[in-house]
């Protein structure tokens, strides 16, 4: 393995598609490729798709980056908890079932003769934003991925903090409302059950009765709110409130330099950030008032994939 | 400074007294000395008391440990936030006013010609338990100090985590009940406003009308609960519930090996630990069910003082 390798292959596994890209040291994506599916694959099928994707990428890029030897390794962002040392998926996630126990590292290292790093997607979104995005030059930061679920990545002293058993960062499962709604984790009152896209959709359907079968994305609810729909406005207000409360707790606990909001919901832009910032300011301990830097991520849906690549390149600098 | 120094001087600053001790590498306290006061000193007066205490300790110990040269340094546990690098108190705490801005490090180093380390008392309780107590051989742990207020110390990768501006670890100010009671930090619904000794006393007075002027310690409420007083039982049940909820969030966020409960309230013993453990088990993400190790601290009221000494000895090993 050359230590002068300039490129990494980054892979992001999602509930509707797997994306891959060849990424350079500056975070610039050379070719990107996506495989979409209707029915999510299980771990075994997923592994096959990842191999297929990497082979496709290498073919695509042979002209632009030359041989595989200029690639330092493969980084993979995966939903759920991952044993980072062994490269094994530790738990299924609601959108991706049948991956628990899948070893992604060993078979991919065998096939491609490259080092492979697998980590939780929110950890890697945080790492991507730190390396190439909103969190550059930040030592301690927290990243929330706001989508169907809510994930979290924690960077402490310039390292991803993975916890004692690779379960750290479950920010979506901070309790913000005792005895609140049932969450995907089977507990109650978690942030995810109150402020995720699925919570927003579920609440809108509930409060307007189920005739609104057309509501299948949080974006629709945001659009309705923008057009003055009172129920939609109230639901988003509440989601923002709980998100602000959770971030206030996180700032009181971690005293980070920055909190970055990534994922589909964060892309609803400044309105969200402004409101959440307001709630956080009203709820953190007064001495923190100096700088609760809450920002939108800069890498959009590529955060995980870029973080996965950055992890590879960091290990081969 | 000899690198073979065997002893440290540990100081613990509290709302009713300042304690000091000479401590060896094994955490054994040689002489201990306490200065009590009715009206808490401000920073300037406090500094004078600390000097007086150290001089007294050195005199007391001259026979047992010989000259000052076998003392590696002075460690000080202080309520509120502390700039660890500069040794300056950053914020007053409810029980200790007029300390903000006090530089403890410089004048003490000048007087005693020894290195001086100052840190938040909950950070040092955590460090004490890790070095000499319940948290030995633990890489990642969280320590809660349950008393008049609720403090927190976070150990990550065998180091005290102090945050980006020395404000980390404010576990007492995790939001557990939106729009809950007013807290000492002027915000609402913090853990401290629901589960601290002062919250327990306040609630008991409130629910039984103010005629119970005799209730001035949480222990009295615990004793009443033990004797079957329904109001006391309900108040303690609720305090334990919110404590359990907050610890569940902490486990979901940090995935620590251990959560240690220190301070006056934790010494109410097994009943508390057992109840809290139950609530935590019911509220953490299922994959954590394997081991939510929640334990009582082993060092009792000496945790901060021993942690302060351990910090000195760590830096001179």
More confident position, A11 or A208: A11
Given A177, A257, A285, which is nearest B170 (Cβ)? A285
Given A140, A165, A174, which is nearest B249 (Cβ)? A174
For testing the chain B interface, which of A82, A189, A255 should be mutated: the one with the most B CBs within 10 Å?
Answer: A255
Given B168, B186, B255, which is nearest A163 (Cβ)? B255
Q: Is the CB of A175 less than 8 angstroms away from the CB of B242?
A: no
Given A162, A185, A257, which is nearest B285 (Cβ)? A185
More confident position, A269 or A253: A253
Predicted TM-score (pTM) of the model is: 0.95
CA distance A190 to chain B (A): 9
| Closest chain B residue by Cα to residue A167 | B255
Show residues of chain A in contact with B279, CB under 8 Å. Answer: none
| Closest chain A residue by Cα to residue B91 | A287
| Closest chain A residue by Cα to residue B282 | A187
- Would the pLDDT of A89 be above 70? yes
What per-residue confidence (pLDDT) applies to B1? Answer: 41
More confident position, B270 or A201: A201
Q: Is the CB of B287 less than 8 angstroms away from the CB of A81?
A: yes
| Closest chain A residue by Cα to residue B155 | A163
For range A111-124, the mean pLDDT:
96
What percent of chain A lies above the pLDDT cut of 70?
92
What per-residue confidence (pLDDT) applies to A126? Answer: 98
Q: Is the CB of B170 less than 8 angstroms away from the CB of A252?
A: yes
Cβ–Cβ < 8 Å for B264, A182: no
User: Pairing mode, if any, of strands A150-156 and A159-160?
Assistant: antiparallel
- Would the pLDDT of A271 be above 70? no
Q: How far is CA A174 from its chain centroid?
A: 17
Task: Please give the mean pLDDT across all residues of chain A.
Answer: 91
Show residues of chain A in contact with B292, CB under 8 Å. Answer: none
How many beta-carbon pairs below 8 A join chains A and B? 127
Q: What is the ipTM of this complex?
A: 0.94
| Closest chain B residue by Cα to residue A152 | B253
What per-residue confidence (pLDDT) applies to B289? Answer: 57
Show residues of chain B in contact with A248, CB under 8 Å. Answer: 175, 187
| Closest chain A residue by Cα to residue B180 | A177
- Would the pLDDT of A196 be above 80? yes
pLDDT in tens, A155-180: 999 999 999 999 999 999 999 999 89
- Would the pLDDT of A207 be above 90? no
| Closest chain A residue by Cα to residue B176 | A176
What per-residue confidence (pLDDT) applies to A4? Answer: 55
What per-residue confidence (pLDDT) applies to A3? Answer: 47
Rounded to whole angstroms, the Cα distance separating B65 from B201 reads: 44
What per-residue confidence (pLDDT) applies to B211? Answer: 60
Q: Is the CB of A287 less than 8 angstroms away from the CB of B186?
A: no
Q: Is the CB of A256 less than 8 angstroms away from the CB of B169?
A: no
Show residues of chain B in contact with A193, CB under 8 Å. Answer: none
Domains of chain A plus CATH, in order, are 7-128+302-315 (3.30.420.40), 137-297 (3.30.420.40)
Show residues of chain A in contact with B284, CB under 8 Å. Answer: 187
Least confident of A81-85, A286-290, A313-317, B229-233: A286-290
Show residues of chain A in contact with B285, CB under 8 Å. Answer: 167, 170, 173, 185, 187
Q: Is the CB of A255 less than 8 angstroms away from the CB of B166?
A: yes
Q: What is the 3-state secondary structure (H, E, C) of chain B?
A: CCCCCCEEEEEEECCCEEEEEEEECCCCEEEEEEEECCCCCCHHHHHHHHHHHHHHHHHHHHHHHCCHHHEEEEEEEECCCEECCCCEECCCECCECCCCCCECHHHHHHHHCCCEEEEEHHHHHHHHHHHHCCCCCCCCEEEEEECCCEEEEEEECCEECCCCCCCCCCHHHCECCCCCCECCCCCECECHHHHCHHHHHHHHHHHCCCCCCCCCCHHHHHHHHHCCCHHHHHHHHHHHHHHHHHHHHHHHHHCCCEEEEECHHHHHCHHHHHHHHHHHHHHCCHHHHHCCCEEECCCHHHHHHHHHHHHHHHHCC
What per-residue confidence (pLDDT) applies to A211? Answer: 60
Q: Is the CB of A253 less than 8 angstroms away from the CB of B255?
A: no
What per-residue confidence (pLDDT) applies to A2? Answer: 43
**pLDDT tens track, chain B, 317 positions:** 444 568 999 999 998 999 999 999 999 888 899 999 999 999 999 999 999 999 999 888 776 555 666 899 999 999 999 999 999 999 988 778 999 999 999 999 999 999 999 999 999 999 999 999 999 999 999 999 999 999 999 999 999 999 999 999 999 999 999 989 999 888 999 999 999 999 999 999 888 875 656 777 888 898 899 899 999 999 999 999 999 999 999 999 999 999 999 998 887 666 688 899 999 999 998 876 567 799 999 999 999 999 999 999 988 76
Show residues of chain A in contact with B173, CB under 8 Å. Answer: 249, 252, 285
Show residues of chain B in contact with A241, CB under 8 Å. Answer: 178
- Would the pLDDT of A154 be above 90? yes
For testing the chain A interface, which of B100, B157, B160, B249 should be mutated: the one with the most A CBs within 10 Å?
Answer: B249
Rounded to whole angstroms, the Cα distance separating A303 from A301 reads: 6
Given B156, B164, B285, which is nearest A256 (Cβ)? B164
Q: What is the DSSP letter of A40?
A: P
What per-residue confidence (pLDDT) applies to B3? Answer: 47
Q: Is the CB of B165 less than 8 angstroms away from the CB of A81?
A: no
Q: Is A10 helix (H, G, I), strand (E, B) or coil?
A: strand
């Amino acid at each position: 393995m050359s230590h002068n390798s300039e490129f990494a292959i980054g892979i992001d596994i999602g509930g509707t598609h797997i994306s891959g890209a060849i990424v350079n040291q500056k975070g610039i994506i050379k070719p990107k490729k996506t495989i979409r599916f209707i029915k999510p694959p299980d771990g075994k099928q997923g592994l096959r798709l990842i191999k297929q994707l990497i082979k496709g990428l290498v073919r695509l890029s042979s002209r632009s980056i030359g041989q595989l030897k200029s690639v330092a390794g493969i980084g993979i962002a995966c939903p759920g908890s991952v044993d980072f040392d062994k490269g094994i998926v530790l738990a299924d996630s609601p959108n991706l079932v049948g991956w628990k126990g899948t070893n992604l590292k060993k078979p991919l290292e065998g096939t491609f003769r490259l080092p492979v790093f697998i980590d939780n997607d929110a950890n890697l979104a945080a790492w991507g934003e730190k390396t190439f995005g909103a969190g550059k030059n930040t030592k301690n930061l927290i990243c929330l991925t706001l989508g169907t679920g809510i994930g979290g990545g924690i960077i402490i002293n310039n390292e991803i903090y993975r916890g004692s058993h690779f379960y750290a960062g479950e920010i979506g499962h901070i309790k913000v409302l005792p005895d609140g709604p049932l969450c995907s984790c089977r507990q109650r009152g978690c942030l995810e059950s109150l402020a995720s896209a699925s919570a927003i959709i579920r609440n809108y359907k509930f409060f307007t009765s189920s005739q609104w079968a057309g509501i299948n994305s949080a974006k629709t609810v945001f659009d309705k709110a923008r057009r003055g729909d009172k129920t939609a406005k109230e639901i988003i207000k509440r989601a923002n409130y709980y998100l602000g409360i959770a971030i206030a707790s996180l700032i009181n606990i971690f005293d980070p330099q920055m909190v970055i909001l990534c994922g589909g919901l964060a892309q609803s832009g400044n309105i969200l950030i402004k409101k959440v910032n307001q709630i956080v300011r009203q709820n953190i301990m007064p001495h923190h008032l100096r700088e609760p830097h809450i920002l939108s991520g800069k890498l959009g849906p590529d955060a995980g994939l870029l973080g996965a690549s950055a992890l590879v390149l960091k290990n081969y600098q």
